[in-house]
Amino acid sequence: MPSGQAIHQVPGMYIGHIKIIIRGIAFTDYIDHSVQIDRNNQLLPMKSEPNIDVIVVGAGVAGLWAALTLRDAGKSVVILEANDRVGGRLKGGVLDGKSVDLGGQWVGKGQDHSYRVAERYGMDTYVTPTFGNNILELDGEIYTEENDPEVFERVVRSPYKVIEQWVEKIHRPGFWDSEDTLAWDRSTTESWLNQNIEDVQARAYLTTVIRGFFTKHPCQLSMLDFFSSFIEQTIDEELRINDGALQHCFKDGFFQLALHMAAELDQDELILQSPVRSVSQDSSSVTVVSDKITCKAQRVIITAPPPVATRIDFTPPLPFTKSGCMERMPMGSIIKCLIAYPTPFWRNQGYSGHGNLTSTITNAFQDITPPDYTGGILAGFIGGDTAMIWSDTTKQKRCDQVKADLASVFGRQAHTPQDYIENVWPLEPWIEGGYSCSSQPGSFSVFGDTLAHPCGRIHWAGTETAEINPGYVDGALRSSERAAKEVLACL
Ligand SMILES: Cc1cc2nc3c(=O)[nH]c(=O)nc-3n(C[C@H](O)[C@H](O)[C@H](O)COP(=O)(O)OP(=O)(O)OC[C@H]3O[C@@H](n4cnc5c(N)ncnc54)[C@H](O)[C@@H]3O)c2cc1C
């Protein structure tokens, strides 16, 4: 049953906890029955008027924005976050004294919500640097579009045209009701590549692009997922800097967006290090049990990544169309590595600092040097099955390998950076991957598009639930506005 299922009474909801009732709203504190605890583990007095309308699970951008949207509409909110920080898949780090993004970084064409919300906080962007030629490494040889146009035509442009022809089929009326959707959902992108892209190097190029962009090996990605990702923007636009999805970076980091949002909240509206363990609903309210507090509210919005959200104990249980769908959406795997050099030396060699590699563990890299940084910074991505394999090795080994990969393109200078930082997203607590998750082959045709459907008092946000730009921050923001609207219509 996709949505609006019968809401059952949940007797004995508070067994084991002490219930405190203030003006008809119940608070139950797991640890100390007379206090709440703030995000820094400090004790807070109980709120005098805890009229909680909505509990939000997760303080990534979707959760934070949903809470602020509801608060702007006059509703009371509490966000419960499992981690000790806000931002989720937006995460900051420091590289050679410079604030950098370890997670989401770029904003570009069609991502109006990201631009608009960032503008609210006065966040400045810079154009992603593109000085010189992009690089393509095939079988250990380095090619550039300027010097080797025929290689780029054969390996990049011509497969893009084939992909666009297949995406065209999705645009035809009746596609979603046709047998094609079932067949495409059950086929992997790897089998499509083998059958439709004859050139071995073109297949190797697309495989590395899929690892870096979808964070999965093509054998883990359904054809339907692959092609439907290019409905709004072509594959070229998705991977392009100028007038594409990678056009701008934020001067002080995209992660600042989450910090700005969190700063707008009152201290008792955001509780960190408090993973939500269970959600129970009955005909009058929903009760959310987390490690620090138990709250009762009218509605809950869950923004945890779908496979992570399945660990929450729901009473009554979620319909199988929901839980089964979420369980069959593994997170992608990505390791983001940032490496700082005394100078952007690749520019002197005529290279842009943007490249795709097929013979190394680094699938792609990009110059992200901010305008106020005196050296040069490259962001490298290890994706899909390679990220899975390299997640459990040491940071030193990964750093050495990334340096070797870059040296295979740019020469010896790449071996001597002045700083290195990385984030191994499969190991990130309560997120466990990135950039996002997608259905296993054969799942979408069984479960359909149920991810965003409310289940009684439970609403769903988060980038995976977005209709437009899922997987991006833009999608996360859109999803929270949709969920907030749903909730407001019910309150
Ligand atoms: C390496 C990387 C690069 C990326 N690059 C880009 C990019 O360039 N541009 C772009 O737009 N997007 C990019 N993305 C994707 C983007 O970061 C995400 O789409 C977006 O941040 C997701 O936000 P969200 O709020 O939906 O989910 P999340 O950020 O995952 O937030 C969910 C929150 O829920 C919390 N949580 C989980 N379980 C529980 C629980 N039981 N109780 C309480 N809290 C819980 C988690 O800790 C987390 O904080 C990238 C992501 C990664 C990892």
Going across the sheet that includes 20-22, the strands are: 20-22, 25-29, 293-297, 286-290, 276-281, 313-315
For residue range 264-294, list pLDDT tens digits in order.
999 999 999 999 999 999 999 999 999 999 9
pLDDT value at residue 237: 87
As a dihedral over the C-alpha atoms of residue 105, residue 108, residue 112, residue 113, rounded to 10 degrees, the angle is -10
What separation in Å is there between the alpha carbon of 330 and the centre of ligand 1?
A: 14
58 located within any domain: yes
Residue 83 sits in the same domain as residue 31 = yes
273 located within any domain: yes
For residue range 288-312, list pLDDT tens digits in order.
999 999 999 999 999 999 999 999 9
- Residue after which a domain boundary falls, among 181, 199, 233: 233
pLDDT value at residue 232: 87
Per the structure, the count of domains in the chain is 2
445 located within any domain: yes
How far is the C-alpha of 450 from the C-alpha of 454, rounded, in Å?
Answer: 9
Domain span including residue 69: 20-87+256-328+441-490
47 located within any domain: yes
Is the CB of 57 inside a 6 Å radius of any atom of ligand 1?
A: yes
Question: How much of the chain is helix, strand and coil, in % rounded to 5?
Answer: 35, 25, 40
Is the CB of 60 inside a 6 Å radius of any atom of ligand 1?
A: yes
What separation in Å is there between the alpha carbon of 155 and the centre of ligand 1?
A: 33
Please check whether residue 432 is in contact with residue 426, taking contact to mean a CB–CB distance below 8 angstroms: yes
Residue 198 sits in the same domain as residue 320 = no
40 located within any domain: yes
pLDDT value at residue 32: 29
Low-confidence ranges of the chain (pLDDT < 50): 1-37, 41, 43-50
For residue range 312-360, list pLDDT tens digits in order.
999 999 999 999 999 999 999 999 999 999 999 999 999 999 999 999 9
Is the CB of 106 inside a 6 Å radius of any atom of ligand 1?
A: yes
3-state secondary structure of 304: coil
219 located within any domain: yes
> Domain with 295 in it: what CATH number?
3.50.50.60
Residue 455 sits in the same domain as residue 319 = yes
